Structure 1
Amino acid sequence: MSDIAPVIPLDAARELITRYKTRLKSGGEALRVSYESRPLTDPLLKGRSHLVDGVLRELWKDFDLPASAALVAVGGYGREELFPCSDVDLLFLLADQPDEDLSERLTQMIGLIWDIGLDIGHSVRTAEECLEEAALDVTVMTNLLEARFLCGNAPLFGHVVTSLRSQINPGQFFKAKRLEQEQRYTRHNETPYSLEPNCKESPGGLRDLQVIGWISRAAGFGTHWRDLAKHQLITDEEATELRELERFLQHVRIRLHHMTGRREDRVLFDHQEKLARKFGYAPTEARRASEVFMQEYYRTAKKVTQLNTILLLNFGVEFFPNRYPAAININERFQCVREMLDVRDEGVFDRHPSALLECFLLLEQRSELKGMTARTLRALWRGRKLINAEFRQNPANRALFLRILQQKRGVVHELRRMNQYGILSFYLPAWRRIVGQMQHDLFHVYTVDQHILQVVRNVRRLMVAEHAHEYPLLTRLCTGFEKPWLIYIAALFHDIAKGRGGDHSRLGMKDARDFCESHGLEEADTDLVEWLVGNHLSMSNVAQKQDLSDLEVIRRFATVAKTERQLTALYILTHSDIRGTSPKVWNGWKGKLLEDLFFATQRLLRGATPQQALGTPIRQDDARNLLRYYGLRPATEDALWDQLDTVYFLRHDAEEIAWHARTLYYRVNAEEPVVKARLSQVSEGLQVMVYMKDQKDLFVRLCGFFSRLGFSIADAKIHTTRHGYALDSFVLLDPGQEVHYRDFINLLEHDLTERLHSNAPTDQPASGRVSREVRHFPITPEVNIRPDERGLHYIMSVTAADRPGLLFGVAETLVEYGINLHTAKIATLGERVEDTFLISGPSLSQDAQVLKIESDLLEKLTV
C-alpha cells in the first residue's frame, strides 16, 4: 500500500465519479433514443466514442498528468467504433519509466475510470516498449495500427506512429492475421451457419471485416472500403456491398447490446425473436420471424466470407508477387497461376457459360490446384446468373454436373464451394430456399443446406481408405456399392423440401425424380434415388423406436426395403444422416441398432428362416462358445437358461448373454440383489445388469438412482424370468461427457446393491435446468398407447423435450397404474426425446384408463 496521499481527495473523487457517471449514463441514453428513432450506425458508434473522449480528456486534466505522457485510444475505440457495451481500450503512453508519483496518479485514474462505469482494457508503456511489444506480438501491433491520439504529448504519439509504420512488414503482418483468422474459424467450427452465431467472432462476422481493415492499414492502402477499390483490390460494387454488410452486422451487435445491457455478441435463441422484430421481420405461415431474420443473417455472413476470401487472395498477390512461376495453360478457358485455378480472361464465363461448372470439375481432377484466384471467384460470382432455365436444360451442362458428383476426389469440397458462391442455388432452384434455413427441431445444429452437405461429406468419407477404421462395415458396403454417387444425389435431395409445409420426404421425391430423369439416369437408378429420399427416415425410426427382436418388425421393414441394394443404400444414407445432424445426437449405441436391423433384414431378404433372420440359434451357440473360452464347463449355463424364454435370447446379443451367464450361473436363486457394471462393448458408456427377485417399482427405483448419479438411460431391456426374477439390462451415458466411466463401475455396483438390499426409499431424479433451445422452441409432448400387431402387448410412444427426470416420471406413472414394462427404447435426439415402451397390464384394455394414463403422462412431460 503506497504512503503517497491520493492525488484527488476522497470527497472530490466521489464528486467526480457522480458527475462523470451521470454524464456517461445520460449521454448513452440520448444516443440510444436517437438510434431507436432513426437507426444509423455511424452516429451511435462515433457518438459514444466522442462521449467517452470528452470524459477521459477532462479526467486527464483532473489528475494533472505530466505533459510528457499521452492518452491514446486503441482497438475499436481507436477507430471510433465504440458499441454500447464494448470495452474501452486505452494506452497510457509514457516518455520514460514512471516514477512513484506518476505510477500512483495512473493507478488512481484507472481506478476512477472503472468507478464511473467504463469497462477498460489498458496498458501503460513507454514508446520503446510499445515498439518492442509490437515487433513480438501481432495483437499489440494491430491495436497500435488503430491508435488515435486523445490528449497529452502529441509529438510522442507521432513518434510511435511513425516508427511503427517504418518497422511493419505488410507481408508478414498479412500472414499472421490470416493464420489468426484460421485459428478463430477452428474455435467457431469453421462455419458461419451456427444456430447461435457470434456476430463478432464467428466466420462471416464483424471480425472478418476488421481483418481486412487491419491488413489494409498495415499496407498503407487506406482505412475505408472505397480506398481498397481505388487500389483495384475490389470493385466499386464490392466496396458498396462491404459497407452494407458491415452496417447490417453493426446493427445486430448494437441491438444485442441494447437488449441485454451488456457486452453480448452471441445471437442466442433468447434474442432472435426480439432481434427479428427490431429489424422489422414478420412471421409467415410456415416460419417464425426469427427464422426469416436468421436466414438474412446467414446470407450476410456468407457474403462476408466470400469477399473476405477474395480480398485475402488479392492481398497475397500484392504482397508476394514474384513467389510463383508463370501461368500454365490448362485449356483455352483456364490456366494455373500460383497453384490456383485462374480464368484466362474475365469474359470466359460470358462466352462459355458451361465453364461455370467446368471450373469445379477441374479442381477435382487436378490435385495441384489449391483453389481459385480472386479474379476467378469474382467472375464466378458475377457469372452465376448465367445459370438460367436454358443453361439447366443443356445436356452438356447436365453431364458436367453429374461428372462433378462422380469424381474420385474433391466432391464435398467443390459442392461446398458451389454453395458458397451461389452456383448450387442457381443450378438447383429448390436449393435456394434452404440456404441459411434454420431447423428448430432441437437436434439439428446446422442450417438445412449445411446439414445436407454434412451428410454428403459423411457418405463420401466412407469411400476413403484412410477413414476405414472409423466405420469398417459401412466402408466395406460403400466401396462395394455400384455407383455410390447415386447416394450423394439422394443426400442432396433428402431434406431439400424442408420448410415448404407438408411431408418433406414426399415433396423431395418429386424433386429427386425430376432431377434424375432430366439428367438421363437409368430408370433403376432413378427409382433408387427417389425411394431413398422418400424413405430416408424409415430405418432410423424402426431401429430406434421398435423392438428389433420382433420378427414382425423385421418383416415389415423388409417389405419396405424390398431389395438388398436398396437396404444397403438406405443403411449408408441413414447412418450418414444421423451423424450429420449434431455431434451430440450420434453415439455408438445408435450405430449398433442400425447395424442389427441391417443384418436381420439382410438375412431375411436372402431367404433365411425367421429364427435365422433374428439370429437366435446363432446367438446361443456363440454365447456357449464364449463361455467355453472363459473356462466354464459345458452345461454350466443350463440352470439359468432354463429360466429364460426365447424373447430374452432375441433381445440380447451373444456377448451380453455370455456376460449374464458368467455372472449368474452359480446364483440363479440368489437371495441378494446382483449388480454388475462394465464398460460398454459397443461404444462409450456403461452396461449395467441388475438381477433380483422382481418388484413392481424396481424400474422406477433404478431410474431414480441412475438419474441421481447424472446418467441418462440410452437403452433398457426389462425381463422377468420364469421363476419370478428381474433380469434388467441398461446402457448408461453421461450427457455432459465429463465422466471417466471406468471410475464409476465399483461405486455404481456397491451403492446400487446397498440401496436395493436395504429397500431404501426411491431416489428422486437429479434436478437440472431446461436448455435454452427447449425454452424458446418448445415441443408439445405427445403420448400414444396402441396394441401391437398380435394384441399381446401394447406399444407406448412418448415424444417430448428432454429434461432431467423425464424417464423417472414415465416409470412412476406406469407403476401407479400397475403396468408391466418389458422393453424401453430410449431415443434422444439433441434436446428431443422419442421413447418407445413395450408394456402390458389389465388397465390397458380399458379405453377410459388408457386415456387417463395418457393425460397423466402429458401433464408430467410438459416443461
Structure 2
Amino acid sequence: MEALEPALRSGQSGPELAGKLTANWDRLITTYYYDHLGVWAERCGLFALGGYGRQEMVPFSDVDLMVLIPSDGDQRLAEHVGDFIRSLWSLGLNLGHSVRTREQCLELAAENTLVASSLLDARLVAGEAASMPDPKVETRDLLRRNGVENFVELINKGLQQRRKKFGDSPSLLEPQVKLGRGGLRDVHAVNWSAELLFGTTDWSELEASGVVWATEATRLARARSYLLRTRFALHLHHNWKQDQLTYASQDAVASILGYGEPHVPGTKTRFMQAYYLHARAAAEITDLWLDSWTTEHKPDVRSSRVDPTLDSRLTVDDPTALIQEPTAVFELISQAQRRGKRLPPHIRRSIAAVSSALPVSVALDGHANSVIRSVIADVNDSGKLLWTLADTGILSKMVPEWRHLVGHAQHDTYHVFTTDEHLLTSCYRLKSLLKGDLAERSPYLTELAAKFLERNKPDALLLACLLHDVGKGLGADHSLIGSGMAAEAAHRMNFSASETQFIRRLIIEHLTMPKISQRRDLSDPTTLSAFCRRIGRRSLIDALVLLSFADMDSVGPGHLTPWKLRLLEQLHRGATQLLTEESPAVEEHASDRVEILHTLVNDIPETRLDCIIENLPDRFLETAELQQLVRSTRLLDRQKADLQVSFHHSPDGFFTEIIVVENERRGRLADVAGVLSAAGLDIREARSFAVGSNRTIDLLKVCPIERPSGVMPDRKREIVATNLARVLGEHSGFERVLSKRLEQSRLPPKARPSVKLKVHVDNEFDPNFTILEIKCQDRPGVLAYVARLLSDLDLQIDRSIISTEGDRAIEVFYLLDSQDQKLSEIGASELSRAVQRRMEDWNNNDQE
C-alpha cells in the first residue's frame, strides 16, 4: 500500500495501477487455492468476478470469487473448498464468494441480470483451463440466444436505477465515483454490451473494426483511467472503502493525484474540473452507445457518405466526412428541431466524434448560427436538442463563450451542479414555464408567461437565461462580464440592437429580484419604488421574474421553496401595480386602518380600544398585516400578564406567525430569537415595535428547520411559550436554553464549503433606515447573537429579514439609533467595522 500513493502522484494510469494490485491478489489467492484443494485443484476452476475479474482492483475493493466445480464433486471437495474460503476470510479480505456447477451458472445467468453481468467479467485465476468450461463464453452465448437487444435494455434499465439512487448527474458537488452517472459503472455497462455484441471489451479492436470512432475509444479509455485513479486516491485517503467524492475529501484526493498541496487555491478546482470532464465523457458515451444498440435505434446500414436525413438508419464509416461538410451537421440539427425529433444516437455519436475538429470559422457561419438560435428559442424542444448540442460539443464550438463553463465547479453551499449544467437546466425550466407545464407550481407566473409570449418572441429571454452565468470564473462581477459576452453571442446570432440590449440588461440584473425579494421589506413602498427605478420598464420586469424563477429553481433540489417563490411573486405583483399606477395593497387601506380595527375588534370597549390604538406606532399601523393588527390589539388588551404569546399558521401552510407582547422596552428580540432557535425553528422574518413607554410587540414568521416552507408543529407551542416566559421573565438570557439544544447532538457537522463572512451597511436604499446585511455560516442562534450584538451597540431593530442558501445565512436588519434616527455615514462605517470584528470573534470562539 505504501507504494501506491507515489505511483499515483507520478501519473501512472488507472488500469496500470489496478492491474498491479490485481496481480498481487492473484498470486496470493492462487497459493491458497492450490494449498487447500490439493488434487481437486485441476478439476475445478477459480474465477475472479466483478471488479476483480475486470482487473480493476483498488485498495479496499471487494474480492469476488467463484469456484466452478464439476457436477460429480463429493463431500471431500466441499470440505476442501470450505477450508479454502475460510483461509481467505482469515486474511481479512472483503470477500464475496460462490460455489457453482456449470449448470447452476447458466441457470442463474438466465434468471438474474446481476449474475449474468458478473459472469461476463469472469476471469480464470487458477485451475485447468482446458478441462473447464469458460463461464464468460457460455453466458455470452446464452444471452445471445435469448436476444442481445433485450439484455442491453436490461443493462440500461439497471444503470438508470443506480443513477437515480446514487446521482443522476456527472456534475454533482459530491459525485459517486463508482455508481453515479459518469462513474465506473457506466463504463462497465458499455463493456458488458460490447462483450455480448462483438465478443470483446477491447475498444482498440472495436475501433479497428469500425464499430466505434477513434475519438470515442480515446475519451472512454481516458475517462476509465481517470475514474480508477480517483477511486484509488479516495480509498487511500480514507483508508477504507469509500466511493463518494465528498467535499471534505476533495482537497486531499487532488493532492494525492498530483494537483498540488491541499487547501492551496486552485488545487481542488483544477482537479474537480478535470474529474467532471472525464465523468461527463463516460456518461455521454455510455448513453449514446446503449441507445445505439436498442431494438429501436440499432443501425442497419453503414455508409461512408453523409446523408442529412433523419429517417435514414445510416451511420458513417468515417465521421471525418462531416468535417468537410459541416453544413450537413447543422442541416441534421435543423431537421430534428423543425420536426420535434431527437437526433438518432448513431448521428449524435458521429457529431460528437467530429465536433472539436470542425473549423473555427463555423462559429461565424450565418446559417449555423440561425440553427443554434432556433434550437435555443424552441420552447417545446421535445427532442432535447439544446442539451444534445452541449453534450456533443457543438454548443462550445458555436458559442465560444460557453467553453470555460464546461465542468466549471461552483464550490458553495447551495449550487448542486456545475455551471454549464445549471444553465442548461435553467433554460429547460424556463421553457417548461413558458409552455404552461408548471401551472400547479405557480399559477401566477404561468399566466404571466402566457401573456409574455402573446407580446414577445422568446428568443432573447431564452438566450439570456442560457447565458446568465456565462461570466462566472472570470472575475468578481460575473453579471457585468457575462452581459458583454452574451452580447457577442447575440450579435453572431443576428439579434437586433434592441434585443441585444434587452439580453444585456437581463443578465446584469438577473440577481436583483432574488436579492430584493428575500433581503428587503416588500411591505415597504420604498422597496418597490427603488426596485422600479432601477429596472424601469414593465416588459423587463416581466422577463426578469421569469428568468429569476428558472434560475432559482435550477440551483438544486428544494432551493426555490414555496416561501421564496411567494416573495418573488409578491415583488413582481407590487412592482407591476406601481408601474401601472395602481396603488399597492399596502397603501390601499393605510389611512383606514383605525376604522377597520374598530369594525373588526368589537369585543373590546371603544374607549379602551382607542387608548390601545393611540399607543400604536404609526409604522406598525401602516405596515403590519391586517390580521397581525387585530391579533396584536387583542393581546395588548390583556393587561394582567407581563407576557402574551399567540401562534397562527398561515393559510397557505408556508409558515407560523408568532406574536410576542411583553411589558418591556425594546431590546429583547435577541432572547425571543434564541428561544425559537432552541426549539428547532428557523426565523424568516422578525419585526419589533415599541408600544407606548413600556411595552413591545415582536412579530415573527417561523418554519421548522427541517421544512423550509412549513408550519411549526403544534406540540412545540407549549415548549416555546414556557421557555419565553422563563427567559424573558427571569432576564436570564437565551444562551442556556440554546446550549441545551446544541448539546443534544454531538455529531460533528458534515464538511461543506466554507462561508465567508461579509458585512455590508447600506445607507442609500431606504431614506428612513440604515440597512445592515450580514452573510455568514448558518447555525442555531445566529439571529439571536446578532440581535444581542446590535442591542449592545445601542441600536434599535425595526425589522429583520432572514434567508438561507444552503449553509449560508443572510440576515438583514433595518436599524435606527437610540434617538430613532437613521445612522450618519460615520456611524454606518463604525457599525460595519464593529459588526465585522464581533462576528469574527464569535466565529473564532465557536471553533475553539
Corresponding position: 1:491 with 2:465: yes
Q: Do 1:436 and 1:447's aligned partners in 2 also have CA atoms closer than 8 Å?
A: yes
Q: Do 2:44 and 2:127's aligned partners in 1 also have CA atoms closer than 8 Å?
A: yes
1:378 maps to amino acid: S
Corresponding position: 1:117 with 2:92: yes
In the other structure, the counterpart of 2:55 is: 80
Corresponding position: 1:729 with 2:699: yes
Q: In the alignment, which of 804, 807, 823 is matched to residue 799 of structure 2?
A: 823
**Cα deviation per residue 1:179-215 (whole Å; 9 max; x = unaligned)?**
1112223224422111222222222222111111111
Tell which deviates more after alignment, 153-162 or 671-680.
153-162
Measure the CA separation in 1 of the matches of 2:310 and 2:95: 52
Measure the CA separation in 2 of the matches of 1:193 and 1:451: 10
**Cα deviation per residue 1:84-142 (whole Å; 9 max; x = unaligned)?**
11111122444469988877766665454333221112234444433322222100111
Measure the CA separation in 2 of the matches of 1:425 and 1:494: 16
In the other structure, the counterpart of 1:19 is: none
Measure the CA separation in 1 of the matches of 2:224 and 2:109: 28
Deviation, structure 1 residue 521: 2.8
Q: In the alignment, which of 404, 422, 426 is matched to residue 375 of structure 2?
A: 404
In the other structure, the counterpart of 1:176 is: 154
Q: In the alignment, which of 617, 623, 638 is matched to residue 588 of structure 2?
A: 617
Measure the CA separation in 2 of the matches of 1:630 and 1:362: 68
CA change 1:721–1:577 in 2 (3 A) is farther
In the other structure, the counterpart of 2:206 is: 228
Corresponding position: 1:859 with 2:830: no
SS at match of 2:685: strand
Measure the CA separation in 1 of the matches of 2:263 and 2:680: 41
Q: In the alignment, which of 437, 462, 476 is matched to residue 502 of structure 1?
A: 476
Measure the CA separation in 1 of the matches of 2:554 and 2:150: 38
Q: Do 1:333 and 1:348's aligned partners in 2 also have CA atoms closer than 8 Å?
A: no
Q: In the alignment, which of 687, 702, 706 is matched to residue 717 of structure 1?
A: 687
Corresponding position: 1:201 with 2:179: yes
SS at match of 1:463: helix
Corresponding position: 1:423 with 2:367: no
CA change 1:78–1:640 in 2 (3 A) is farther
Corresponding position: 1:529 with 2:494: no
Q: Do 2:46 and 2:65's aligned partners in 1 also have CA atoms closer than 8 Å?
A: yes
1:795 maps to amino acid: I
Q: Do 2:675 and 2:720's aligned partners in 1 also have CA atoms closer than 8 Å?
A: yes
CA-atom RMSD in angstroms = 3.9
Uncovered stretches (5+) of structure 2, i.e. residues with no partner: none
Q: Do 2:49 and 2:65's aligned partners in 1 also have CA atoms closer than 8 Å?
A: yes
Corresponding position: 1:303 with 2:271: no
CA change 1:34–1:397 in 2 (3 A) is closer
Q: Do 1:269 and 1:773's aligned partners in 2 also have CA atoms closer than 8 Å?
A: yes
In the other structure, the counterpart of 2:719 is: 751
In the other structure, the counterpart of 1:382 is: 354
Measure the CA separation in 2 of the matches of 1:429 and 1:716: 47
CA change 1:97–1:694 in 2 (3 A) is farther
Deviation, structure 1 residue 430: 1.0
CA change 1:54–1:376 in 2 (3 A) is closer
Corresponding position: 1:474 with 2:445: yes
Measure the CA separation in 1 of the matches of 2:325 and 2:83: 70
SS at match of 1:371: coil
Deviation, structure 1 residue 222: 0.9
CA change 1:319–1:648 in 2 (3 A) is closer
Deviation, structure 1 residue 723: 6.5
CA change 1:781–1:34 in 2 (3 A) is closer
Measure the CA separation in 1 of the matches of 2:815 and 2:552: 28
SS at match of 1:264: coil
Q: In the alignment, which of 650, 660, 669 is matched to residue 699 of structure 1?
A: 669
In the other structure, the counterpart of 1:361 is: 334
2:104 maps to amino acid: E
Uncovered stretches (5+) of structure 1, i.e. residues with no partner: 1-27
Measure the CA separation in 2 of the matches of 1:365 and 1:734: 48
1:388 maps to amino acid: V
In the other structure, the counterpart of 2:556 is: 582
Deviation, structure 1 residue 488: 0.8
SS at match of 2:811: strand
SS at match of 2:445: helix
In the other structure, the counterpart of 1:372 is: 344
Normalized against structure 2, the TM-score is what? 0.86
Q: Do 1:800 and 1:861's aligned partners in 2 also have CA atoms closer than 8 Å?
A: no
1:444-843 matches, within 5 Å, as: 444-481=415-452, 482-608=456-582, 612-613=583-584, 615-618=586-589, 643-654=615-626, 660=631, 664=634, 667-669=637-639, 671=641, 673-682=643-652, 684-694=654-664, 696=666, 698-722=668-692, 724-737=694-707, 745-758=713-726, 759=729, 761=732, 762=734, 763-765=737-739, 766-767=741-742, 772=750, 774=752, 777-785=753-761, 787=763, 792-842=768-818
CA change 1:80–1:559 in 2 (3 A) is same
Q: Do 1:626 and 1:655's aligned partners in 2 also have CA atoms closer than 8 Å?
A: no
Deviation, structure 1 residue 354: 3.4
1:45-56 matches, within 5 Å, as: 45-56=18-29
CA change 1:459–1:239 in 2 (3 A) is closer
Q: Do 1:192 and 1:203's aligned partners in 2 also have CA atoms closer than 8 Å?
A: yes
Q: Do 1:798 and 1:835's aligned partners in 2 also have CA atoms closer than 8 Å?
A: yes
Q: Do 1:185 and 1:202's aligned partners in 2 also have CA atoms closer than 8 Å?
A: yes
Measure the CA separation in 2 of the matches of 1:613 and 1:437: 42
SS at match of 1:746: coil
User: How many equivalent residue pairs?
Assistant: 817
Measure the CA separation in 1 of the matches of 2:564 and 2:216: 47
2:717 maps to amino acid: E
SS at match of 2:688: strand
1:830 maps to amino acid: G
Q: Do 1:364 and 1:409's aligned partners in 2 also have CA atoms closer than 8 Å?
A: no
CA change 1:105–1:588 in 2 (3 A) is same
Measure the CA separation in 1 of the matches of 2:813 and 2:107: 68
SS at match of 2:47: strand
2:17 maps to amino acid: L
Q: Do 2:140 and 2:195's aligned partners in 1 also have CA atoms closer than 8 Å?
A: no
1:702 maps to amino acid: V
Corresponding position: 1:274 with 2:252: yes
CA change 1:302–1:745 in 2 (3 A) is closer
Measure the CA separation in 2 of the matches of 1:624 and 1:84: 77
Deviation, structure 1 residue 414: 1.7
CA change 1:629–1:479 in 2 (3 A) is farther
Corresponding position: 1:249 with 2:221: no
Measure the CA separation in 2 of the matches of 1:678 and 1:839: 27
CA change 1:772–1:756 in 2 (3 A) is closer
SS at match of 1:197: coil
Q: Do 2:68 and 2:99's aligned partners in 1 also have CA atoms closer than 8 Å?
A: yes
Q: In the alignment, which of 248, 259, 264 is matched to residue 242 of structure 2?
A: 264
Measure the CA separation in 2 of the matches of 1:107 and 1:212: 35
SS at match of 2:714: helix
Deviation, structure 1 residue 824: 1.1
2:345 maps to amino acid: T
Normalized against structure 1, the TM-score is what? 0.85
Tell which deviates more after alignment, 142-151 or 156-165.
156-165
CA change 1:173–1:621 in 2 (3 A) is farther
CA change 1:604–1:238 in 2 (3 A) is closer
Corresponding position: 1:212 with 2:180: no
Deviation, structure 1 residue 562: 0.8
Corresponding position: 1:140 with 2:118: no
Measure the CA separation in 2 of the matches of 1:279 and 1:538: 41
2:25 maps to amino acid: V
